[in-house]
Chain A
Amino acid sequence: MADASIAPAAIAGMFDLLSPSPPGWGGNLLRGLLNSLQIAFGAFGMGLLIGTVGAYGKLYGGPVVRDIAAIYTTIVRAVPELVLILLLYYAGTDLINRILEGIGYQRVDISGLVAGIVVLGFVQGAYATEVLRGAIKAIPQGEIEAARAYGMSPTLMMRRITLPAMLPHALPGLANLWLISTKDTALLAVVGFSELTLVTRQAAGTTKAYFLFFIAAGALYLLITLFSNVILAKVEKWARRGMPSVKEAR
C-alpha cells in the first residue's frame, strides 16, 4: 500500500462503498450484523437453558442422567463446531421434515435463523453445562444445606439460593461464552445463512474491495466484543457486590 493507490478520491470512494443507502453496502452489513446478533442472543439464551439443566443433571441427577450429560458435553466439545453445525443443520431439518411427512403434514422450510439458533445453542449448551457445574460447586455447600433444612422445594431453592449464589462464580465463564457465541455466528456463513461474515464476503466479492469490507466487518465484531466487555464488567461488579474483590481475595 506504499504507492499512491490511496488518494483522497479513493478514500471518498471507500466511504461511498460503505454508505448505508443502496449503492453502498453499509446497509447490507448492518442487516447482517443484526442477524448475527439475533443468533448470538438466541444461541446464548438456549445455551444457558441447556447448561442449567445439564449442570443440575451432572450434579444431582441419577447415574444414567450423569453419564448421558457427560457424553453430551464430551462429544460436543471435542468435535469442531463446523462439523456439528453441518450435521445438525442437515440432519435436523431433514429429520423434522421426515417426521412431518410421516404424520401427514407438508414439508416446512425451517428458517436459517431458527436452525442457526438451535444448532449454536446446542453447542453452547455443552460449554455452559461445564461452566455452571463448576459455579454451583463453588457455592459454599452449607448455604444449600441450610436451604434444604428450611424445607425449600427444589425450584424455590434454585431460584432463591443456587442461581443467585453461583452467578458471581459463573459470570467470567459465561462472559467468555457470550463472546464465543458472537464469533461462532460467523460459522453459519458456511451453511449459507446471510449473517455478517457472509454478507461481507458477498460485498467484497462484488466490489473487489476485499480489505475494506473485511476490515469494516472486523471492526463491527470488535465493537460488539468491546461493548460487551464493558457491560459484562458492570454485571460482574453487580453480581459480586458485597463479596471481597478478586485482588483482596488473593
Chain B
Amino acid sequence: MVETPLETPIETFPIHKDSYTSGQTRKFPPHRIVLILIGLALIASAVFFMRWNWLPDYGDLILHGLWRTLWILVVTVILGFLLAVPLGLAQAAGPAILAVPARIFCTIIRGTPLLLQLWLLYYGLGSLFPQYPWIRSSELWPYLRQAWPYAVLALTLSYAGYEGEVMRGAFAGVPKGQLESARAFGMRRFTIFRRIWLPQAIHRALPTLAGEAVLQLKSTPLVATITVVDLYSVASRVRQDTFITYEPLLLLAAGYLVITGIIVFLFRRLEKLIPSKLG
C-alpha cells in the first residue's frame, strides 16, 4: 500500500470522527446494547428452533476435525514461513540466479488458485507416483498414499509464496544504516542476518503475518476436497448423513470466527512483546 501522509483534519465537523474516537470513550451506548440483544436473540432462536440433535453423535468427529484443522494450520504456517525467509531474502538481496527463480515461484503461487494447486499435487502427483515401483516399495509409500501430505505440501507452498513476497518487502525495508553499523561492529554475515536483519524484518512483517495466518486458516477447508477430514468436512458429512444443511454450516462459521479471534489475539500478544516506538 502507498503510504500517504495524512493531513491532520480540523475538528470543525464531526465527520472526521471514526469509530475509534467515539467508541473508545463509551463502549456500550444504548444502540449497541440493543444490537447485542438482537444478536443474543438470534443465537437463542437458532439454538431453540433449529435441529441440533445430531450434535452428540458427531462430537468426536468434530473434535477430530478441529484438531486436524489446527494441526494443518500450525504446521503449514511454520513450514511456509521457514520457506518464505530464504524466498524473501533471495528476492531482496540475492544474486539474480536466486532472485529470478524465487520471483517466478512467488508469481506462479500467487497467480493461480490454491484449489488448482491442491488438485494438481493430489491428482497429478498421486497418479504419477504409483507408476514407479521404487516409490511403491519405499518406506514413504504408506504416507504418500494418504491425502494429508499433499494437503500440507500445497498449503505450505502457498503460504511460502504469499509470505515470500511479504518478507521481501520486510527485508528491503530494514534501514541500511542498521546493517552497516552491524558490519562496522565486525559481525559476520550470518550473525548480522541472525541478530539484526531477520528480527527487524519479522517485526516489520508481523501485522501482515497475522493477516496471512488468518487467510491460511480460511484456506484450510479446501483440503476437504481431497478427502482430508478437517473441521469443514465434518459439516459436509453431517449434511450427507442427515440432510441437515444450515446448522452444521452455521456452527462451522462460528467455529472459524472463534479460531480467527484466537489467532488475532495471539499475534497481538506477540507484537506487544517487541518494544516499538511510534515515529
Contacts and interface: CB of A to CB of B under 8 A. Distances in A.
B112 A218 contact: yes
A109 B111 CA distance: 33
Interface of B: 1-2, 4, 6-7, 9-10, 12-13, 15-16, 18-19, 22, 29, 31-32, 35, 107-108, 110-117, 119-120, 123-124, 126-128, 214, 217-222, 225, 232, 235, 245-246, 249-250, 252-253, 256-257, 260-261
**Interface SS of B by simple majority:** helix
B2 A169 contact: yes
Rank and list the top 4 A-B pairs by shortest CB-CB distance, nearest first.
A186-B113, A225-B111, A214-B120, A78-B260
B256 A82 contact: no
Contacts of B257: 75, 78-79
Contact of B256 (A78, A172, A217): A78
Interface stretch (A45-53, A58-66, A98-106): A58-66
Contact of A83 (B32, B35, B253): B253
B232 to A, nearest CB: 7
B101 to A, nearest CB: 16
Contact of A200 (B110, B111, B116, B128): B116
A148 B6 CA distance: 19
A140 B112 contact: no
A172 B2 contact: yes
Contacts of A156: none
A84 interface: yes
Contacts of B221: 80, 82-83
A90 B111 contact: no
Nearest to A75: B257
Interface stretch (A17-25, A114-122, A204-212): A204-212
Contacts of B225: 190
Interface string A211-250: 1001101100110011000000000000000000010010
Interface centre among B218, B232, B257 (most CB of A within 10 A): B218
Given A67-B32, A186-B115, A222-B108, A78 B214 contact: yes
A223 to B, nearest CB: 9
